[in-house]
Structure 1
Amino acid sequence: MSLKNSDIPHVFLHTGDAFIGVNPTIVSTVLGSCVAISMFSPRMKQGAICHAFLPSRKEINPDKQISIQICRYVDTAIDHLLACMLRIGTRKNELEVKIFGGASGLTLSKVRAPNSFAVGGRNIQMALDSLSAIGLHPKAMDTGGNVGRKILFATHSGDIWLKRLDKQTLLKTTCHLTNKK
C-alpha cells in the first residue's frame, strides 16, 4: 500500500493525545521516551492509538482524580483507549495491542540519568503492567533502546509502519508490521 497516493486522511498525533479511528485514517507520530499504544479490532476494522509521555498520573498528582489531558499518562491512556474501543462495539478479547517507543538515551552524553528519571523504561513497564492488569497483552512491540521512532498507524487495518531514527534523525531501519497472516 502506498501511503503517498492514498485517499485516506492523514492525522498527526501530538504528545498527550489519542485518536479513535471509526473511519479509515493514517495516524503518524514521533516518539522518543514517550510510548504509543495502539488497539485494533479486526472484526470491526477500527483502531485507536495514543501518545503518552509520563508513566502514571498518580506519580505526578496522586490527589487529582481527573486529568485535563488523560492521554498524557500511560496508565490512564490505556484505560481511555479501552473504554473508547468498547464503546464503539469491540470486544476486549478481540483487541490486538501494539506498543512502540520508550527510548532511554536520546542525548549525545554518555552520562546515565538516575533510575527515577529513566522515563522511557518506566513508560514501557507501565504499559505492560496496565495492559496485563486488564487482561491484554501486546501482539507486537518495538520499545527501548536509544533511538527515536516515527510510526504510521492505519486505523482500518491495524498495520504499523515504523522508522527508527538515529541521533541525527536519519532513517536507520524501516519495517512494516502487518496483521495479515
Structure 2
Amino acid sequence: MSSCTITQPAQKQNVGMGQTALAKAPGLLCSVLGSCVGLALYHPRLRTGALAHIVLPTASGRGALPGKFADTALPHMLTELLKAGIPREGLVAKIAGGACMFGVSGPLQIGDSNIEAVQTLLAKENIRIIAKDVGGQKGRRVTLDCSTGELLVEIAGHPKKVL
C-alpha cells in the first residue's frame, strides 16, 4: 500500500516497519512486531485484508511512509482498500503488538501509546475491533490469512493463538 501491491494467490508478503499491504484470498500478510502495532483490516464477504506495521502513534507533521504512524496508516489503508473495490462497510479490525520490550513502563511507553492510538482511531472511524492480542513484554509474529480472516499470533515460548 505504501508501494502497494496486491498479493497473488497463495503468496506470502512480509510487511516491514512503516509499511502497509493489501491481499485477496488466499494471500497471507505477515509482520514481526515489538512495541509496534499490527493493524489488520478484513472484509469477510470479499475475503480481502490489509495489514499495517505501525511504529508510532502520530505523524505530527512528519512526512514518511503512511504506514509508520497510526494517524496516517488507517486513512491510507481505507483509501487503498476503496481503490481496490473494497467498501469500508463490513470491515472489521484485529490488532496485535504494542509490547513493552524492555520491561520499563511509564508515560513514555511507546507500545501502550501505539495501542491507544490505534484503538481510538478505529473507534472514530466506527470500525469494530473483533479481536486483539496486545501488551506484554515479548514481541510477536502475526500472519493475516485472507482466506479466513484469521490472524495467527506467535510469541516465543507461548502457544500459537488464532484471533
1:89 paired residue number:
85
Q: TM-score, normalised by structure 1?
A: 0.79
Aligned residue for 1:43, secondary structure, equals coil
Deviation at 1:113?
5.1
Supply the distance in 1 between the matched residues of 2:24 and 2:11 (Cα, whole angstroms): 12
Aligned residue for 1:19, secondary structure, equals strand
Identity between Structure 1 and Structure 2 (%): 26
Q: TM-score, normalised by structure 2?
A: 0.87
2:50 paired residue number:
48
Match of 1:149 among 131, 137, 140: 140
CA contact 1:27–1:152 (8 Å) conserved in 2: yes
Aligned residue for 2:79, secondary structure, equals helix
1:30 paired residue number:
32
Give 1:1-181 correspondences, 5 Å limit: 8-22=10-24, 24-58=26-60, 62=61, 64=62, 67-104=63-100, 106-107=101-102, 112=104, 114-115=106-107, 117-165=108-156, 171-177=157-163
CA contact 2:59–2:71 (8 Å) conserved in 1: yes
Question: Could you give the per-residue CA deviations for residues 23-66 of structure 1, whole angstroms, max 9, x where no partner exists?
Answer: 531121111100000111111111111101101001xxx3x5xx
RMSD, aligned α-carbons? 1.7
Moved more, 43-52 or 87-96: 87-96
Aligned residue for 2:161, secondary structure, equals strand
CA contact 2:10–2:25 (8 Å) conserved in 1: no
1:4 paired residue number:
none
Structure 1: where are the runs of 5+ without partners?
1-6, 166-170
Supply the distance in 2 between the matched residues of 1:12 and 1:32 (Cα, whole angstroms): 15
Deviation at 1:97?
0.6
| One-letter code aligned to 2:31 | T
| One-letter code aligned to 2:42 | F
Structure 2: where are the runs of 5+ without partners?
1-8
Supply the distance in 2 between the matched residues of 1:86 and 1:140 (Cα, whole angstroms): 23
